[in-house]
Amino acid sequence: MNGIKRMAVLGANGTMGSLSGGIFAQAGVLCYFFARSMEKAQRGIENAVQQARSDVVREYIIPKTYDSLETELPECDWVLEAVAENLPLKREYFRKVDGHRKRGSVVATISSSLSIEEMAEECSNDFKAHFMGVHFFNPPGKLLANELIFHSKNTDTLKASVSEFCEKRLGRVNIITCDTPGFAGNRIGFQFLNEAALYAEKLGVGEIDYLLGPQTGRVLPPLATIDLVGLDVHHEVVTNISQRTHDERHDTFQIPAYMDRMIERKMLGTKSGELGGFYRKTQDNQRLAIDTSSLEPKPIKKMNNSLIEKIKLHLHDGYYRKATELIKKERSEEMSLVRHFILGYISYSFARIGEVTPAESGIHGIDRVMSYGFSWLPPSAWVDYLGGPRETIRLIEKSDLPVPKQLKNFPEEKICRIPEVTKYLIAR
């Protein structure tokens, strides 16, 4: 891995292609940014420079069009694919890469949900042996998590060297995940996000984000997060998981009909500019939220739930246990919903041990991807705050949610190994 001197980014005009490639450039690797036009490739370079906040990055990035693949790929030690999340399209590019790459060069996809092994099915044995998933999180300049998804054709030597390169040269926090739909972070994170979108149809956009805001252990509320991700990307990830898995919360992976209508109207979130998504801003900087029936933007109602505000006050003062006790014991309709989502997150996360991450990593791999990849309070930290496994199991049972057998096996002691978890509980 010390021999990684040059790399190519396919789809470098996109957000994740440009920003992920920018991480390599910041590490001193010469990068070819490939796009359909030089203008689009240059746009990707500007994104990478903005992320690094340094013009020096330009020295390590060269814009190219796909017409240059045949010339440049044989010189590259690493090829990073970041085209649209579409299996036939990715395979089309992989066939081109396979025809021009040098033997032994690493090929990685930053796919967020498609099967790694399936993507490489039509390629040569050498391609398959050096192909893997390297899933950075958006924005990679701030979120350090890196899901490494290997498959049966990869050697132990390759796994070790790629892991070391990503950790030491790129400064990533590596999490080994299984080749399952959505891998670990998106499988768990998008379950929560999509269920919040389903509830918004009845309760309202601003109301859901207020109740499930930063005080419940995430930097951004769920629907604001979907706006940042993009409703089209959200749709692709959730649909893929829904079609390819059938777990105990499968019903929460149904895309609400109003989101389909939003996507038809190009209301994709932050990237849609004035059209917005769940939220948009007026010319005088007023923030509006859509009505899920009409899709019309309306002023956000001022919300001031006494229990939510009391939780925020406790968090502001550093009384995390007091805040948790309110969440545990208060019987209002609003607090029941907050409990449902927090306990559902815990239940779903622990049930995925051995499915989305290796069984031997326990809950720690999932904790790392949710904290370093999503900036969410890791599930085991919630178990600690709620009073340990037995108390958490009691609360899950009381909320009529499935109790994962994996949680039953944990001893009555502090579980979470992520440092400084209080930074994910924010009084905002």
Give residues with Cβ within 8 angstroms of 190, minimum separation 6: 182, 234, 237, 238, 241, 253
Same domain, 168 and 274: no
Give residues with Cβ within 8 angstroms of 9, minimum separation 6: 17, 18, 20, 21, 24, 31, 32, 33, 34, 44, 80, 82
Identify the residue whose tokens are 């090829």: 79
Q: How far is CA 260 from each of CA 251, 293, 423, rounded to the nearest angstrom?
A: 17, 12, 35
pTM comes to 0.94
Same domain, 77 and 189: no
Residue 1 forms part of a structural domain: no
Same domain, 157 and 212: no
| 80, β-bridge pairs | 9, 108
Whole domain around residue 123: which residue ranges?
Answer: 6-177
Go through the chain and tell me how many residues it has. Answer: 428
User: For the ranges 78-87, 187-196, 255-264, 337-346, which has the lowest average pLDDT?
Assistant: 78-87
Residue 107 forms part of a structural domain: yes
Domain containing residue 26: CATH number: 3.40.50.720
* Res 46: pLDDT: 96
**CA proximity to 19, closest of 38, 39, 47:** 47
Same domain, 190 and 104: no
Same domain, 45 and 147: yes
Q: Answer yes or no: are the C-beta atoms of 47 and 76 closer than 8 Å.
A: no
Identify the residue whose tokens are 């749709």: 235
pLDDT, the chain, mean? 95
Same domain, 123 and 202: no
Residue 80 forms part of a structural domain: yes
Same domain, 418 and 312: yes
Same domain, 220 and 348: yes
* Res 282: pLDDT: 86
Residue 221 forms part of a structural domain: yes
Q: How far is CA 286 from each of CA 220, 279, 282, 289, 297, rounded to the nearest angstrom?
A: 19, 10, 5, 10, 11
Same domain, 167 and 190: no
* Res 114: pLDDT: 86
Q: How many domains does the chain have?
A: 2
* Res 79: pLDDT: 97
Domain limit, last residue, from 122, 143, 177: 177
pLDDT-derived band at 86 (thresholds 50, 70, 90) equals confident
* Res 427: pLDDT: 86
Domain limit, last residue, from 152, 177, 202: 177
125-178 pLDDT, tens per residue?
999 999 999 999 989 999 999 999 999 999 999 999 999 999 999 999 999 999
Q: Is the pLDDT of residue 36 over 70?
A: yes
Give the separation between CA 170 and CA 184, rounded to whole angstroms: 21
Identify the residue whose tokens are 């440009």: 18
In angstroms, how far is CA 405 from the centroid of its own chain? Answer: 26
290-308 pLDDT, tens per residue?
999 999 999 998 899 999 9
* Cα end-to-end distance, the chain, whole Å: 43
* Res 398: pLDDT: 95
Segment 255-271 shows an average pLDDT of 97
Same domain, 190 and 140: no
* Res 171: pLDDT: 96
Residue 56 forms part of a structural domain: yes
Same domain, 286 and 408: yes
- Residue with the bigger pLDDT between 111 and 81: it is 81
* Res 2: pLDDT: 64
Same domain, 152 and 247: no
Q: Is the pLDDT of residue 1 over 80?
A: no
